[in-house]
Structures are given as structure tokens and as C-alpha cells.
Homo-oligomer: A and B are copies of this chain.
């Protein structure tokens, strides 16, 4: 698959940080950025811009906050752009520098459908500072259709650059990916559509391909699939699929060999039955993460039955 408009965004540190409170060593993050630049990855998302009055730097690693000086220690100005994510309701507006003073090129605003007004408010603030802006609408498998339509109509009125189809719970398969990608494209003329998938049912890479087929050009992946719970679309599979000659898969293999095979044993993202169960049932993975930490003493089948009988998410 080759389409010149395609852009790959690596979210290894940002989404992977959900598994270790963003406590990645600086030297390793630097190696990740430099290797991904060599691989031709278009964007590297190095973490969240979280509000320090809400999250203590004593409890979290540097990539929870992405201070400018930390970013500059690991990244450099090149064709590979630095991305940072910010959550609606957890971000201090005063921490955004004017874009010409920052190494960051893209901010991605993560929001739920009911918070879309707040997301647009924050996105405008960031856009006015000169950055690229994406809005990533999470948990859309729990959204009511008219609410989603209204959110897209509001986003269509903005000058933001991208809007992402996000499968937060690893619940979608091709038919929903087709439906949502086509809906976003039709309702957001002039904007790029992105795809961010979770791998609970081993469908993150497949769903990303389906997004590409329908016209999404911004594609999230993470090294060896690292990310919350079952993780994300493995970047190496995505790069092996894309035929754009600017990409080189080898630096990603090298990173996996040097760091991520071992890291996976430690952080334990990836396919496991409790994550499959929350994916099958369209539930947030937090119940599965608690189960795996032994908070529930149940069997897989009991966990399944328990979730079947829970109405909330």
C-alpha cells in the first residue's frame, strides 16, 4: 500500500507509558526517537502534557508532562515531528509555548464525545499558538450516534488539521472501521482522518489497514504493539505493509531486539484472555487490568460472566 499522503505516527512512549507511569529512561526514549527518525516515521508522540497541579511529578515519569527541556534532550529538529497528547480537563493552558519556541509540532487533544466543546476550546488555544492540532475522539463505541454527528459537525467548523477514529476498547472490526472512516471523511471536508486502534481482539493492525483502504492517511502504531492493556497496532507490521520507499523497517527491528522483547515481559502488554474479554464485550480494559493484578480472584469464565452482567463501562 503506497499513498503519498500517508503519515505514520508512533505512540510508543505516550500509550506505552500507560503501563509504567511514563517511567521510561531518557536514554532509551532518545534512542527510540533517533531510530524512528532513521526509519522515516513521520511523527513520534513522546507523552502527555498533564497538569502538574493534578498529577505529581513525584509519581510519574517525565513523559507524563513533556516539559520542553525534557523533549529537547531526546528529540531534535528533523523531518520526524514531535507530537504530544493532552487530555481535556487535565491540561494547564499556560504550559503551551508559542510554536516557534517549541520542538513540538503537533498536539493531539484526547476527548470523549460529551466533552467536545472543551476539546475544541483547547484545540483553538493550541492552534492559535501555531501548532498542528488533532482531535482524537475516544470511546466512540460507547457514543450515541446523534452526539457523535453533532461533535463532527462542530469539528468541521474548526481549522484543526486531523480528527482520529479511535477504537479505545478493541471492539471494532472491519465493518465499523469502514463505517466510521467514511463518516468522518464525509463530515470533515478538508481534514485528514487518523486511525488509532487497540489490540484486544488482535484486530488493531487489520483495522488500521481497513482505515487506510477507506481513505485515512494518519496511522498510529507503536513499537512491538506496546500500549495500554492489549496494546496498539504494531508499528513494524504497519511499516511492513506500507510500500512508501521513505520508510525503513530495520531500525524498528533493532529497537525491538534491544529493548522491547524484554520490556514486554516486564510490562506485560499484548494479547491476554482478560483483554480479549473486555474487547469482545466492548468494555474499558481497566477491569481486565485489575483482574490480571489479582484484584479479582476469579477464573476467566467468572470474569466473563461478571462483565456480562455489568451495565456501566
Does A300 reach chain B (CB closer than 8 Å)?
Answer: yes
Please give, as numbers and ranges, the residues of chain B lying within 8 Å of A277 by CB-CB distance: 240, 253
Instruction: For the complex of A and B, list the 5 residue pairs with the smallest distance between their C-beta atoms, beginning with the closest.
Output: A206-B206, A240-B280, A253-B300, A250-B301, A253-B301
Known A174-B210, A205-B202: A300·B257 in contact at CB below 8 Å: yes
Q: Are B201 and A202 in contact (CB under 8 A)?
A: no
The complex is assembled from copies of this chain, and their number is: 2
Q: Are A256 and B273 in contact (CB under 8 A)?
A: yes
Mask, A216-254, CB within 8 Å of B = 1, is 000000001000000000101100110000000110011
Q: Are B209 and A173 in contact (CB under 8 A)?
A: yes
Q: Are A304 and B253 in contact (CB under 8 A)?
A: yes
Known A236-B276, A301-B254, A304-B253: A201·B205 in contact at CB below 8 Å: yes
- Size class of A's contact patch? 35 or more
Mask, A91-111, CB within 8 Å of B = 1, is 000000000000000000000
Please give, as numbers and ranges, the residues of chain B lying within 8 Å of A153 by CB-CB distance: none
Tell me which residues from 249 to 274 in chain A have a Cβ below 8 Å from any Cβ of chain B: 249-250, 253-254, 256-257, 261, 270-271, 273
Question: Bound state CA distance, A207 and B210, in angstroms?
Answer: 12
Q: Are A174 and B174 in contact (CB under 8 A)?
A: yes
Q: Which residue of B lies closest to A254 (CB)?
A: B301
Q: Are B299 and A257 in contact (CB under 8 A)?
A: yes
Question: Bound state CA distance, A29 and B280, in angstroms?
Answer: 27
Q: Which residue of B lies closest to A303 (CB)?
A: B253
Q: Are A249 and B205 in contact (CB under 8 A)?
A: no
Question: Bound state CA distance, A203 and B237, in angstroms?
Answer: 10
Q: Are B174 and A213 in contact (CB under 8 A)?
A: yes
Question: Bound state CA distance, A6 and B250, in angstroms?
Answer: 42
Q: Are A202 and B237 in contact (CB under 8 A)?
A: yes
Please give, as numbers and ranges, the residues of chain B lying within 8 Å of A299 by CB-CB distance: 253-254, 257
Q: Are B206 and A240 in contact (CB under 8 A)?
A: no
Please give, as numbers and ranges, the residues of chain B lying within 8 Å of A173 by CB-CB distance: 206, 209, 241
Chain B min CB distance to A141 (Å): 15
Does A199 reach chain B (CB closer than 8 Å)?
Answer: yes
Tell me which residues from 171 to 202 in chain A have a Cβ below 8 Å from any Cβ of chain B: 173-175, 199, 201-202
